[in-house]
């Protein structure tokens, strides 16, 4: 075996360790190859310590043999004294075996001849030493087989090699550990990137389903609102205007975008309960009897019953139930007052009355915007705004009523006579 020195080995190992980039496998192959060159060994295996569950095992990273073709790329073995490499990993000791046929009976490890029997290879001398990190922990094992004094002539391994390799052992160990950690981190990052892609795809699918659900909900709301209009014989765009008035009022009140959007479509269902009221009562030209008026008032309860079990229409259910309540009480169906009336219902009650004033009915002409403002703010023989409306809604209307007029004109019913 050629003469070797600590300085030459140190330089050799530091040079190739500093070469970048390298994977754990590539680095360990080069470590094993260099160790075999230095010892002129015929074969060798380099192992890395892995944790599998609660146990540690040795995983063969590279198997090299000059005499036979190695088909097995990798294998694992437990860390215990049943094998030479396992013994080295467990104890941290360097093992020299001059002749595997003459192991002492008290040897603390065993030599498994199965590989030789299967391949015809003849293992004679062995040197196995640990690879340590800077903390002194064993992170791998190098096992060299059949040192040669000259090509083809097997000899024993020189003991001095253990002392020569010691100064660079930690450097090699740290390089292997760093490369291993880098690969694990890269694998983890790749896994996270894959998961992020999966999550993006899932979010896109959820968003698509949400959009489809939202579209189906809006279609349902629109159909319900149109059905209520047809049943009640009101003009076609009344519910749409009430929705726009309500959203505008909510915006001026500083409500959230979600609230504004929700009240825009929920307000269109405020009279959906009228579908359950007898059309003879809805369309009766004369004065209603007490029983008929009571049945008419029940449209609030019917609307609530229709909507209450739909999670996305909880606001619509509140509006349907309470949009005929009054600020000071005395409304129907429950006679509640003040802030006990849901804000959404207070807003829609205001919007509904404004639109009713503007709209033509068989029994009345449509009032102008100016006439409607005067009634909403100052009252008439049928409406007392201080009793009917939330004061903050009156303030908003007083300051921003112009936009109500614009909404009405934009969504005005066709071929309907308006008052002067």
Extended beta strands in 134-287, E state: 138-145, 147-150, 153-155
How far is the CA of 292 from the CAs of 38, 177, 211, 233, 249, in angstroms? Answer: 109, 88, 43, 18, 33
Tokens of 108: 């603390």
Interatomic CA distance for residues 135 and 107, integer angstroms: 29
Instruction: Report the pLDDT value the prediction gives residue 16, as an integer from 0 to 100.
Output: 58
Residues 359 and 257 in one domain: yes
Q: Residue 292: which pLDDT band, with cuts at 50, 70 and 90? A: very high
CA 301 to CA 303: how far, in whole Å? 5
370 in a structural domain: yes
Name the more confident of 416 and 286: 286
Instruction: Assign 46 to helix, strand or coil.
Output: strand
317 inside domain:
yes
Q: Nearest Cα to 35, choosing from 165, 199, 204?
A: 165
Q: Which of residues 128, 157, 189 is at a domain's end?
A: 189
Indicate whether 159 belongs to any domain: yes
Residue 25: exposure state from Cβ atoms within 10 A (0-12, 13-18, ≥19): middle
Spatial separation of the C-alpha atoms in residues 47 and 146, rounded to whole Å: 18
The verdict on 156 and 247 lying in the same domain is: no
Please check whether residue 212 lies inside any domain of the structure. Answer: no
Q: Tell me whether residue 163 is in a domain.
A: yes
Domain that holds residue 244: 233-410
Confidence of residue 10 (pLDDT cuts 50, 70, 90): low
Give yes or no for residue 3 having a pLDDT over 70.
no
Which segment, 4-8, 174-178, 200-204, is predicted with the most confidence on average? 200-204
* Boundary residue ending a domain (189, 204, 223): 189
Nearest by Cα to 36 from 189, 184, 144, 182: 144
Same domain membership, residue 240 and residue 161 = no
Residues 353, 261 share a domain: yes
| Residue 147 pLDDT grade (very low, low, confident, very high; cuts 50, 70, 90) | very high
Q: Are 306 and 321 in contact (CB under 8 A)?
A: no
Q: What local confidence, expressed as pLDDT, does residue 384 receive? A: 95
* 246 belongs to a structural domain: yes
Is 145 in contact with 125 (CB distance < 8 Å)? yes
The torsion of the CA quartet 367, 371, 375, 381, rounded to 10 degrees, works out to -70
**Is the same domain home to 172 and 245?**
no
199 inside domain: no
Task: Dig out the tokens for 262 from the structure.
Answer: 């929700």
- In the chain, % of residues over pLDDT 90: 50
| 74 vs 81: CA distance, rounded Å | 20
Q: What is the pTM of this model?
A: 0.54
Could you give the percent of the chain with pLDDT greater than 70? Answer: 88
Weakest-pLDDT range from 157-166, 196-205, 297-306, 391-400: 157-166
Q: What is the pLDDT of residue 236?
A: 58
Whole-number pLDDT of residue 318: 97
Quick one: 185 and 266 in the same domain?
no
| The pLDDT of residue 246 | 97
Residue 418 pLDDT level (bands cut at 50, 70, 90): very low
- pLDDT at position 420 over 60: no
CATH number at residue 15: 3.30.450.40
Residue 394 near residue 346, CB atoms below 8 Å:
no
Task: Kindly report whether the peptide bond that precedes residue 333 is cis, defined as omega within 30 degrees of 0.
Answer: yes
Of the residues 189, 205, 222, the one at which a domain ends = 189
The 10s digit of each residue's pLDDT in 312-347 is 899 999 999 999 999 999 999 999 999 999 999 999
Which residue's entry shows tokens 């310590």?
49
Residue 130's pLDDT band (cuts 50, 70, 90): very high
Average pLDDT over the chain, rounded to whole?
Answer: 86
| pLDDT for the residue numbered 145 | 96
The distance of Cα 360 from the centroid of its chain, to the nearest Å, equals 53
- Report d(CA 169, CA 14) in Å as an integer: 11
**Same domain assignment for residues 254 and 160:** no
- Three-class SS of residue 365? coil
Mean pLDDT computed over 215-225: 73
User: Residue 200: is its pLDDT beyond 60?
Assistant: yes
Q: Calculate mean pLDDT across residues 344-373.
A: 92
Does residue 391 share a domain with residue 270? Answer: yes
Lowest mean pLDDT among 17-26, 87-96, 266-275, 286-295: 17-26
230 confidence band (pLDDT: 50, 70, 90): low
Between 59-68, 87-96, 168-177, 272-281, the lowest mean confidence (pLDDT) is in: 168-177
In this structure, are 268 and 383 located in the same domain? yes
Q: Please give the pLDDT value at position 146.
A: 96
Alpha-helix residue ranges (DSSP H) falling in 289-333: 290-297, 299-307, 314-322
Total tally of structural domains belonging to the chain: 2
**Per-residue exposure over 139-170, b if at least 16 CB sit within 10 Å of its own CB, e if not:** bbbbbbbbbbeeeeebbbbbeebbebbeebbb
Are residues 166 and 30 located together in one domain of the fold?
Answer: yes
- Residue ranges of E strands in 133-245: 138-145, 147-150, 153-155
Q: What is the pLDDT of residues 148-189, one digit of tens each?
A: 998 889 999 998 888 777 766 666 777 777 777 777 888 888
Partners of 59 in the β-ladder: 48, 76
237 and 311 both lie in a single domain: yes
Same domain, 347 and 291: yes
Tell me, yes or no, whether 202 lies in a domain. no
pLDDT score of 14: 59
Domain containing residue 264: CATH number: 1.10.3210.10
- CA angle 244-394-322, nearest 5°? 65
**Under the phi-then-psi rule, with left for phi > 0, alpha for psi from -120 to 50, and beta for the rest, what region is 414?**
beta
């Amino acid at each position: 075996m050629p003469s070797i020195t600590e300085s030459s080995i140190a330089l050799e190992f530091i040079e190739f360790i500093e070469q970048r980039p390298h994977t754990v496998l590539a680095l360990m192959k080069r470590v094993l190859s260099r160790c075999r060159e230095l010892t002129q060994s015929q074969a060798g295996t380099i192992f890395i310590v892995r944790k599998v569950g609660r146990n540690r095992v040795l995983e063969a990273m590279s198997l090299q043999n000059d005499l036979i073709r190695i088909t097995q790329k990798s294998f694992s073995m437990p860390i215990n004294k049943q094998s030479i490499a396992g013994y080295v990993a467990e104890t941290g000791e360097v093992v020299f075996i001059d002749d595997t046929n003459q192991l002492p009976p008290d040897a603390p490890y065993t030599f498994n001849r199965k590989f030789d029997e299967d391949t015809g290879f003849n293992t004679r001398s062995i040197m196995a030493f640990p690879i340590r990190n800077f903390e002194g922990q064993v992170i791998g094992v190098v096992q060299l087989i059949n040192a040669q004094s000259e090509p083809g002539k097997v000899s024993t391994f020189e003991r001095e090699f253990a002392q020569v390799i010691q100064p660079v052992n930690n450097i090699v160990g740290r390089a292997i550990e760093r490369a291993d950690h880098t690969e694990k981190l890269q694998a983890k990052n790749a896994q996270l990137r894959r998961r992020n892609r999966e999550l993006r795809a899932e979010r896109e699918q959820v968003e698509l389903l949400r959009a489809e659900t939202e579209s189906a909900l809006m279609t349902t709301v629109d159909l319900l609102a149109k059905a209520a209009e047809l049943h009640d014989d009101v003009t076609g765009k009344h519910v749409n205007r009430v929705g726009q008035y309500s959203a505008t009022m909510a915006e001026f009140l500083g409500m959230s975008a979600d609230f504004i959007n929700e009240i825009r479509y929920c307000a269109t269902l405020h009279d959906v309960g009228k579908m359950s009221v007898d059309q003879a009562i809805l369309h009766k030209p004369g004065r209603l009897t007490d029983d008929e008026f009571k049945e008419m008032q029940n449209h609030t309860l019917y609307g609530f019953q229709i909507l209450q079990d739909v999670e996305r229409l909880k606001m619509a259910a509140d509006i349907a139930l309470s949009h005929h309540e009054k600020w000071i009480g005395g409304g129907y169906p429950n006679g509640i007052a003040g802030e006990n009336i849901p804000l959404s219902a207070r807003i829609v009650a205001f919007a509904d009355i404004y639109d009713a004033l503007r709209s033509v009915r068989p029994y009345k002409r449509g009032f102008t915007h100016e006439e409607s403002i005067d009634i909403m703010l100052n009252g008439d023989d049928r409406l007392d705004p201080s009793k009917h409306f939330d004061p903050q809604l009156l303030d908003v209307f007083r300051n921003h009523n112009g936009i109500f007029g614009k909404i009405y004109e934009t969504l005005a019913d066709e071929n309907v006579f308006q008052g002067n």
